[in-house]
Structure 1
Amino acid sequence: MIGKSALLETIAGKNRGLLATEPERQAILSAIAQLEDRNPTPRPIEALDLLEGDWRLIYTTSQGILGIEQVPFLKLGQVYQSIRALEAKIYNIAEVYGVPFLEGIVSVAARFKPVSDKRVDVKFERSILGLQRLIGYQTPDHFIHQIESGQKFAAIDFSLDNRDQQGWLDTTYLDENLRIGRGNEGSVFVLTKG
């Protein structure tokens, strides 16, 4: 059985999955599955105090996220999934780097609705793409406060009303500082908090 610390060691140095070879990916997925079998929170969607916060992505198989590195001159910085449990909101925030002074943000805001002990349906509502300097980006929490206060940004800021902008997310492991999720596109996400 692989435990939490072994999983974190296996993930270390893989740059959220960008540097993982195929055998390493398979070993990571096996370690994730073993840890999911020992989830200490059997009803994670009801554990609002554990879900709440700014979670930093440390590993994923999501090509939507990892694909940012495919864009010329762009490098993926920190990626966060911030959950505001009482408001039933999720904010995905990716910091992007490349040309000096043109650091960017790629963000999507969504609402979620619990549909089981582990699953939420997610409806994406708004996307913001812009330069960190023009937006006044400092931290995920500060950025979310700006969004929630109704601030308009000097950025590409548009609503997502299309039915295709929906999905689901299972929380398959949750403790005070580690969360594992699986999405509707088959992607796996490992995130830490604190």
Structure 2
Amino acid sequence: MATKLVQLPLIAYHVCLSVPRIPNSLRTQRRVPSANPWSKYTRFKHHPFVCGPICTIKVENQGMGLLEEDEDTIPRTKAKLYQAVEGINRGVFGVSSAKTAEIKGLVEQLEFQNPTENPAFNLEKVNGCWKVIYSTITILGSKRTKLGLRDFITLGDFFQQISVDEGKAVNVIEFSALGLNLMKGQLTIEATFDIASASRVNINYSSSSITPEQLMNVFRKNYELLLSIFNPDGWLEITYVDDTMRIGRDDKGNIFILERSADIFVN
């Protein structure tokens, strides 16, 4: 809830109040105004020309933070968003509808206050390595069972390396196979991109691979299913980006939240 001071419209009072007639004998006794005629009236509420009372009303913050204008609004909203996505494994195995609504509301507040105008024309902001901290991509039910993601395979971090100079993006999804002496591996998906509008880029799938070979053998039977989940082919709208956080929405209706990472991965 945001609080605002509202001066009731003056015109309504002008029709109700009359100006007293000043006797001629007093007309020559005018006081010379000070250099700052407002200096003795604090916040205008005691000034004789302010006819209406000042009242305080509370206006509900609806949806996208339209009334929040404090300088620290973005850092506070980002802190709330980090707290909201904590402990939900990036949402990949689903979250409650209440949690989804909470995250979506915070995302919309940040999107409304995006500090980077025309982000697709300022791609230096997105260059480098990012880690996915939340997305609406989910692996549920039979898909999760087929991919062995209930007990046998554990998902690790999701990274995205963007090279603006090459027009190239590399997505890396890390895995651990518990039945193979805790072997670790990764799915790597390479794609190219080009600017479609001031905020949108087109993404074209190039290639993919799973390393090491033992992990590829685990996924081979359901490789197309795995690729269909993480394939970035389509378009991506960059709806928010600053020095540490990026938010995007794709043509499939998914939301992605990423934080800048210092990690460097090797393909």
TM-score category (smaller protein): 0.7 to 0.9
Amino acid at match of 2:154: K
Q: Aligned pair in 2 of structure 1 residues 165, 8: CA closer, same or farther (>3 Å)? A: closer
Equivalences for residues 42-191 of structure 1 within 5 A = 42-63=117-138, 70=145, 71-72=147-148, 73-99=152-178, 100-131=181-212, 166-191=233-258
Matched-pair contact (CA < 8 Å) for 1:102–1:132? no
Deviation of residue 102 (structure 1)?
A: 2.5
Q: Aligned pair in 2 of structure 1 residues 40, 165: CA closer, same or farther (>3 Å)? A: closer
Report the number of matched residues.
168
Q: 2:84 aligns with which of 2, 7, 10?
A: 10
- The answer for the alignment partner of 1:34 in structure 2 is 109
- The answer for the alignment partner of 2:55 in structure 1 is none
CA distance in 2, matches of 1:108, 1:193: 19
3-state DSSP of counterpart to 1:103: strand
Residue range with higher mean Cα deviation, 48-57 or 172-181: 48-57
User: Which has the larger Rg?
Assistant: 2
Residue range with higher mean Cα deviation, 14-23 or 50-59: 14-23
Matched-pair contact (CA < 8 Å) for 1:68–1:76? no
CA distance in 2, matches of 1:53, 1:64: 27
CA distance in 1, matches of 2:200, 2:139: 21
Matched-pair contact (CA < 8 Å) for 2:94–2:139? no
CA distance in 1, matches of 2:232, 2:87: 32
CA distance in 2, matches of 1:102, 1:77: 12
Amino acid at match of 2:118: R
3-state DSSP of counterpart to 1:39: coil
Q: Aligned pair in 2 of structure 1 residues 68, 34: CA closer, same or farther (>3 Å)? A: farther
Higher relative contact order (CA 8 A, sep 6+): 1
Q: TM-score, normalised by structure 2?
A: 0.57
Deviation of residue 48 (structure 1)?
A: 2.6
Deviation of residue 166 (structure 1)?
A: 3.3
Deviation of residue 15 (structure 1)?
A: 1.2
Deviation of residue 56 (structure 1)?
A: 0.1
Q: Aligned pair in 2 of structure 1 residues 98, 22: CA closer, same or farther (>3 Å)? A: farther
Matched-pair contact (CA < 8 Å) for 1:181–1:188? yes
Cα-Cα RMSD: 2.9
Q: Which runs of 5+ in 2 are unaligned?
A: 1-64, 66-75, 221-226, 262-267
Q: Residue by residue, what CA displacement relative to the aligned partner does 1:6-50 show, whole Å, maximum 9, x if unpaired? A: 111111111101362221011111111111111000111122321
Residue range with higher mean Cα deviation, 167-176 or 95-104: 95-104
Displacement over 3 Å in runs of 4+: 67-70
Deviation of residue 101 (structure 1)?
A: 4.0
Amino acid at match of 2:120: I
CA distance in 1, matches of 2:233, 2:124: 25
